[in-house]
Every structure is written in C-alpha cells, then in structure tokens.
C-alpha cells in the first residue's frame, strides 16, 4: 500500500493502554484520510449518544496521503470528535508541524479515548509512545506551555496543546499549535481538557510510503512555481485573508453588531490596509510558499497573528474599531485556546441581550475594557464568563424566546464572518455545513457576489455542492491547505495528480466527488444517530436573517425569503440523495458503499 501506512495509533488514557490498529486499504481509498478517515473511525469507535465530555468520546487526529511530503501547503492536519458545543460531528484543520511528524511517525491517525487520573501529555516518537505527567504545564497558557515542551523535547517536534479554556471545558475551546494556529472550532480543545490531556508532542523520523516520489517532486515543484507566478501573489503576501475586510464591506457582508448589518462606517479602522502599516512579521504553516500569518503588535505591544475571521468577529461584530485592541483580544483567544468566531458571536449576543434588557449586566458595544475582562473570565469560567463559555445556543435558550431571534448559530456552532441577509447561497452553505455554521465547506459568497446575488437558483445549489465536495471533501480528506487553489487559482488538477503520485491510483475529479459524497453522507448519518427526532429545521440559518431586514448599505431592506430558501434546501437534498428531512435515502447509502458500515438501509 502506498500513500498510507494503514496504521492508526490508539491511546486509552483511562487504562494507560497504547496499541495500534490496522486499517484496511479499502477504507483508506474510500475515505482518503483527514476528515474522511476521522468520521469513519468515529462511527466505529464512538458509542452512539455518548456525552462528548465523557471518557468514552474519542478524539481523532488524522493526516492524509500528502501529509509529511514537500508539496504546497501540506502542513495541516484534521482534529475531530463528537462536539461538546453541538453534540454532533465536529472537526477543524490546523497548520502545524504536528502534521509532518504524525505522518513521519508511521501513523495515518491517532484515536484518543479515556480520561487520565491526573493531567498528562502524550509523547510519540515513532513506535515509542508514552503518557507523561503534565503538572508542570497544566494551568499555563498555550504559549508558555509550548515553550516548556520545546525546551524539554527540542525544536524538531510537532506540538498540539490546549490553554486554560480547554482545561476548563469552554464549549468552543480549540487546540492550539505554534503560537497562533488554532483549530477545532466546535470545542475540540474541551474534549482534550475533559481527558486531562494538556498536549500531544510528536517526533517522526520515518519516510512516508510514496508510489512515485520523483513524479511527486516534479508535480510539486511545478505547483510551487505556479503559486509564485500567480497574478494575485504580491497582494496576497501583503494582506493574506485580511484583504477580506474591505471586500466584505464593499459587498455588504461584513458582520456588524451581532449580524444586524453587513456594512460598518468604521471598517477602515480594522482593515487589511491598516494591518499592512502595522505589520511586523509574516508566518506560514509548514511547506507553504504563500504564508498568510500576518503579525502586528497589539495594544499591549505583544505579537498577535491576524486573520479575517478573527478581526471581523472581534471587531465590527462587537463594534470595536481599533485594530490594536482587536489584536489584543485575538492574542488572548490564542493564549487561552478559544475559538475567535464563537467568542466574537458570544460577546455580541451578550451585548445585544444587555441592550434589550434580557440580562442585568450592562455591557456596552465596543467596550474594550469590559470585553477583555469577560474574555479572561470566560476562559476560567468565572462569573458571567461561565455563561459565555456555554456559547450562543445555550445562552439563548436560557434567556427565552426573544433571545432565540438574535442567536447567530446553526446546530449550535456560531456563524463565521459573512452576513447572509442578502446572500441566500451562503446561508444555505452555513445551514448544510457538516459541523454547523462554518464557511470552510462552501465559501459560495465569492461566487454569489459575482453572479446573481439575490437569486435562489438551482445553479447556485449545484455550485454549493461542488464547493463542498472540493473544499470539505478533497481538501479536508487530504488535510492540505485549500488557499493556493481558492486565493491564487492553483489548478485543482495538481492535487489530483499529487494524490495519484502518492498512492499509485489513477484518481479523477469524479472519483474524488464520490468520496466526498460518501464523507458528507456518513457525517450526516452520524448527526442523525446522535439526535433523536432529526428533521429539516436543523438545516436552517438563524431567524435574524429572515426576520430583521438590513437597514443600511446597498442591500438595505434585504432579508431571506423562507419559501425560496425551502426550495433551495429541497434541491440540495436531492443532489445529495437525501430525503425531504435531510436523511440519506437507503439507495444513497447503498450506492455509496456505506451499508456494511451503518447497517442495512431500512433496518
């Protein structure tokens, strides 16, 4: 077998048991790796209905056939589990040397279950795996803990770890790496915390099995060159994802005041142009020649790595118009290990609840001092922070009916930074994303603003399914960064060729789309297994976008139309082979070869 090891490392922290599992080649070909392999393993090893924060929930860390290899932006890995935020499938994608080392340690994935009696960290050096006391790093923020682990194990390791938010099981705690890369929005850091697992340190020295290394090197070289020659390269290097602030403002999708509006008068105070003037460094994930980690000095003169989502959610969405202050909140989120998108949503929700008199506390929009205190309290679950740590869905349910209307989440995951009053395609993308309201699977908004913006057309739905298949299917199962393709137009064919070079299989885009459909369908079946009484209402965007029209900007008066949204959702289900409640049909399960995994259709 080439491209994969066919081996998964299994660690049970309760029993302190370490073992390996052989994975059949058929499974690897059918699911490729990353997200695909993760959901396949979760389906098999997670007890149905398990409490996500119990020892019986499994945490999966998985690589893909291109991990550990010198190809454009391959230094990423997928973390996945049952989410404590949504109670459904959750995953994230982190840029980290841990990806390189995991593959070079001889494993396609790691499954971690159980709960250690005391705080521990795991050290993996090829086949040598140990569970070690972590008393000296428990309680430290993610930067301090990483420094200590590097002092102990040297620089040539990959480290995944949690901060205090993960330890305190904040429902949107993330897993952090390399002081500024953070992933697992749906609370994957809390899952680590629930296991008393502070960190995973990996050192791999093996050569991954590759079918044709010469051809792979040649294809990769060509792709690297194409990236450097792309017309948008220089601008990308200057601004990275921060260019999106101005773009979002121009297109009326900049989240403003808890997604009340899509434009903000003070957007220039947080823009990519301003960031360029303040920029002091640029960082990159492993094997990337278009590094987008733009670093500035924040309000307290500390380094903070900015991205669009972080700045929009902690800037315009809470009306904080000062990039250095936004950067300080962003750095705190990384130190504590909390998702900036869910945090920005939770703070905005609370500000609106305060404005409407639904809570006693007075929390003004854009009040930096109060917000800073609240962010720290959230990480430690102190006072009002314990409420914020529960996320928007739970907060809104406890405040009652009125609050549900401005609770910006889908299935419990807070909405990322694109307003959808005037973007029905993007609203559908959030609603049908396999982890809740995240933009990773289908960033159809960029297509939508270039075409028939307000239409609910079948063509848009087809485009959405295509994007999901490529972004959420191909890139998430390869675990390779999608940005060379999204931002600089690197031909998708390069990835298909590289996958062929690595595995020796003559992949085509159609074959990849079948794998993607299989992955989406299994994830959907996972959700249904965890939810009694599943129905299509779970595939709806937040009520605000239907009920409260925009009051400003070029799309003033716009809002989503329920009956037209319904017809788009029907079209989506049809394209996926799911029934009118979004449940995969027996013939779809059969066709995708999932029957032997999930049981006989109709049984």
Query: Footprint of ligand PTT on this chain (CB under 6 A)?
Result: 76, 92-95, 174, 180-185, 241, 285, 305, 307-310, 333-334, 338-341, 440, 475-476, 480-483
**Cβ(63)–Cβ(33) under 8 Å?**
yes
Q: Does 316 bind ligand SF4 (CB under 6 A)?
A: no
284 binds, among ligand PTT, ligand SF4, none (CB under 5 to 8 A by kind): ligand SF4
| Closest approach of ligand SF4 to the CB of residue 68, in Å | 15
* Residue 405 structure tokens: 């209307």
Instruction: Give the helix, strand, coil percentages of the chain, each rounded to 5.
Output: 45, 15, 40
469 binds, among ligand SF4, ligand PTT, none (CB under 5 to 8 A by kind): none
Among residues 248 and 256, whose Cβ is nearest to ligand PTT? 248
Among residues 39 and 129, whose Cβ is nearest to ligand PTT? 39
Among residues 94 and 328, whose Cβ is nearest to ligand SF4? 94
Tell me the C-alpha distance between 565 and 585, whole Å. 22
| Closest approach of ligand SF4 to the CB of residue 475, in Å | 10
* Three-state secondary structure call for residue 261: strand
Residue span binding ligand SF4 (CB under 6 A) among the ranges 208-216, 282-290, 345-353, 566-574: 282-290
Q: Does 288 bind ligand SF4 (CB under 6 A)?
A: yes
* Three-state secondary structure call for residue 8: strand
Residue span binding ligand SF4 (CB under 6 A) among the ranges 121-129, 289-297, 351-359, 510-518: 289-297
Among residues 271 and 588, whose Cβ is nearest to ligand PTT? 271
Q: Does 272 bind ligand SF4 (CB under 6 A)?
A: no
DSSP 8-state code for residue 140: S
> Cα separations (Å) of 297 from 240, 317, 325, 341?
17, 22, 10, 21
* Residue 87 structure tokens: 């109670």
Residue span binding ligand SF4 (CB under 6 A) among the ranges 159-167, 252-260, 283-291, 342-350: 283-291
Q: Does 192 bind ligand SF4 (CB under 6 A)?
A: no
Sign of the alpha-carbon torsion through 354, 182, 515, 507 = positive
Among residues 292 and 568, whose Cβ is nearest to ligand SF4? 292
Among residues 215 and 250, whose Cβ is nearest to ligand PTT? 250
Lay out the sheet containing 181-183: strands in order across: 128-133, 120-125, 197-203, 158-161, 175-177, 181-183
**Distant-in-sequence contacts of 590-597, Cβ < 8 A, 24+ apart:** 592/514, 592/517, 592/518, 592/521, 593/30, 593/518, 594/518, 594/521, 594/522, 594/525, 597/40, 597/43, 597/44, 597/522
* Three-state secondary structure call for residue 337: coil
Q: Show the site string, 52-91: x = touches ligand SF4 by CB under 6 A, - = not.
A: ---------------------x------------------
185 binds, among ligand PTT, ligand SF4, none (CB under 5 to 8 A by kind): ligand PTT
* Three-state secondary structure call for residue 175: strand
Among residues 305 and 530, whose Cβ is nearest to ligand SF4? 305
Among residues 129 and 498, whose Cβ is nearest to ligand PTT? 498
* Three-state secondary structure call for residue 114: coil
Among residues 93 and 468, whose Cβ is nearest to ligand SF4? 93
Among residues 278 and 284, whose Cβ is nearest to ligand SF4? 284
Residue span binding ligand SF4 (CB under 6 A) among the ranges 286-294, 317-325, 470-478, 522-530: 286-294
CA diameter of the chain: 66
Task: Please state whether beta strands 128-133 and 409-410 pair in parallel, antiparallel, or not at all (unpaired).
Answer: unpaired
DSSP 8-state code for residue 473: I
Among 6, 70, 291, 321, binds ligand SF4 (CB under 6 A): 291
Tell me the C-alpha distance between 172 and 282, whole Å. 27
Tell me the C-alpha distance between 32 and 35, whole Å. 9
288 binds, among ligand PTT, ligand SF4, none (CB under 5 to 8 A by kind): ligand SF4
**Distant-in-sequence contacts of 136-141, Cβ < 8 A, 24+ apart:** 137/161, 137/198, 137/199, 138/167, 138/198, 139/164, 139/167, 141/335, 141/336, 141/337
291 binds, among ligand PTT, ligand SF4, none (CB under 5 to 8 A by kind): ligand SF4
Residue span binding ligand SF4 (CB under 6 A) among the ranges 34-42, 122-130, 290-298, 373-381: 290-298
Q: Which residue is nearest to ligand PTT (CB)?
A: 92
Among residues 108 and 307, whose Cβ is nearest to ligand PTT? 307
Among residues 285 and 312, whose Cβ is nearest to ligand SF4? 285
434 binds, among ligand SF4, ligand PTT, none (CB under 5 to 8 A by kind): none
* Residue 443 structure tokens: 């960033």
Q: Does 483 bind ligand SF4 (CB under 6 A)?
A: yes
Tokens 């259709």, residue? Answer: 601
Give the CA dihedral 34, 35, 40, 41, nearest 10 degrees: 60
> Cα separations (Å) of 489 from 292, 448, 497, 523?
16, 17, 16, 29
Residue 421 CA, distance from chain mean position = 23
Tell me the C-alpha distance between 440 and 341, whole Å. 13
475 binds, among ligand SF4, ligand PTT, none (CB under 5 to 8 A by kind): ligand PTT
Number of residues that bind ligand SF4 (CB under 6 A): 11
Among 3, 64, 90, 95, binds ligand SF4 (CB under 6 A): 95
Among 254, 393, 481, 490, binds ligand SF4 (CB under 6 A): 481
Tell me the C-alpha distance between 344 and 339, whole Å. 9
Among 80, 124, 245, 292, binds ligand SF4 (CB under 6 A): 292
Sites of contact with ligand SF4 (CB under 6 A): 73, 95, 284-285, 288, 290-293, 481, 483
């Amino acid at each position: 077998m080439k491209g994969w090891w066919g081996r998964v490392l299994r660690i049970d922290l309760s029993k302190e048991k370490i073992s390996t599992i052989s994975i059949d080649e058929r499974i690897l070909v059918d699911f490729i790796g990353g997200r695909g392999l993760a959901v396949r393993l979760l389906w098999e090893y997670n007890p149905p209905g398990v409490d996500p924060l119990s020892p019986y929930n499994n945490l999966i860390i998985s690589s893909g056939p291109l991990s550990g290899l010198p190809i454009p932006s391959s230094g990423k890995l997928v973390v996945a589990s049952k989410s404590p935020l949504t109670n459904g499938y959750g995953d994230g994608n982190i840029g980290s040397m841990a990806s390189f080392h995991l593959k070079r340690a001889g494993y396609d994935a790691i499954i971690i279950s159980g709960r250690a009696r005391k705080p521990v960290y795991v050290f993996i050096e090829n086949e040598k795996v140990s569970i070690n006391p972590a008393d000296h790093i428990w309680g430290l923020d993610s930067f301090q803990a990483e420094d200590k682990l590097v002092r102990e194990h040297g620089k040539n390791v990959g480290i995944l770890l949690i901060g205090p938010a993960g330890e305190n099981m904040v429902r949107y705690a993330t897993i952090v790496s390399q002081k500024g890369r953070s992933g697992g929005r749906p609370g994957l850091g809390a899952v680590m915390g629930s296991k008393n697992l502070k960190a995973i340190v990996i050192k791999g020295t093996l050569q991954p099995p590759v079918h044709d290394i010469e051809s792979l090197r040649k294809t990769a070289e060509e792709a690297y060159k194409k990236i450097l020659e792309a017309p948008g390269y220089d601008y990308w290097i200057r601004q990275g994802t921060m260019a999106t602030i101005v773009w979002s403002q121009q297109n009326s999708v900049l989240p403003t005041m808890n997604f009340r509006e899509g434009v903000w008068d003070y957007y220039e105070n947080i823009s990519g142009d301003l960031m360029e003037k303040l920029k002091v460094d640029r960082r990159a994930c492993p094997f990337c020649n278009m590094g987008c980690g733009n670093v500035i000095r924040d309000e307290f003169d500390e380094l903070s790595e900015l991205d669009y989502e972080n700045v929009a959610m902690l800037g315009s969405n809470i009306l904080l118009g000062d990039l250095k202050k936004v950067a300080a909140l962003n750095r705190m989120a990384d130190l504590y290990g909390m998702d900036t998108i869910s945090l920005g949503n939770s703070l905005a929700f609370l500000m609106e609840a305060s404005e409407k008199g639904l809570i006693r506390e007075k929390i003004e929009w854009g009040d930096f001092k109060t917000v800073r205190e609240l962010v720290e309290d959230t990480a430690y679950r102190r006072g009002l922070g314990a409420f914020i740590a529960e996320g928007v869905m739970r907060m809104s349910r406890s405040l009652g009916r009125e609050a549900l209307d401005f609770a910006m989440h889908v299935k419990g995951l807070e909405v990322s930074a694109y307003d959808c009053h005037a973007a029905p395609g993007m609203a559908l993308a959030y609603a049908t994303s396999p982890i809740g309201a995240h933009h990773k699977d289908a960033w159809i908004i960029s297509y939508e603003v270039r075409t028939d913006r307000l239409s609910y057309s079948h063509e848009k739905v087809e485009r959405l399914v295509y994007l999901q298949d490529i972004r959420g299917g191909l890139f998430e199962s390869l675990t390779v960064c999608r940005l060379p393709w999204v931002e600089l137009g690197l031909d998708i064919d390069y990835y298909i060729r590289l996958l062929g070079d690595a595995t020796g299989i003559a992949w085509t885009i159609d074959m990849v789309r079948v794998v993607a459909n299989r992955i989406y369908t299994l994830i959907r079946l996972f959700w249904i297994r965890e939810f009694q009484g599943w129905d299509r209402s779970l595939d709806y965007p937040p009520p605000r976008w239907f009920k409260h029209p925009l009051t400003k900007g070029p799309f003033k008066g716009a809002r989503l139309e329920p009956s037209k949204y319904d017809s788009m959702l029907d079209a989506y289900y049809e394209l996926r082979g799911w029934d009118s409640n979004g449940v995969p049909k027996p013939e779809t399960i059969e066709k995708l070869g999932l029957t032997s995994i999930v049981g006989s259709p109709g049984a």
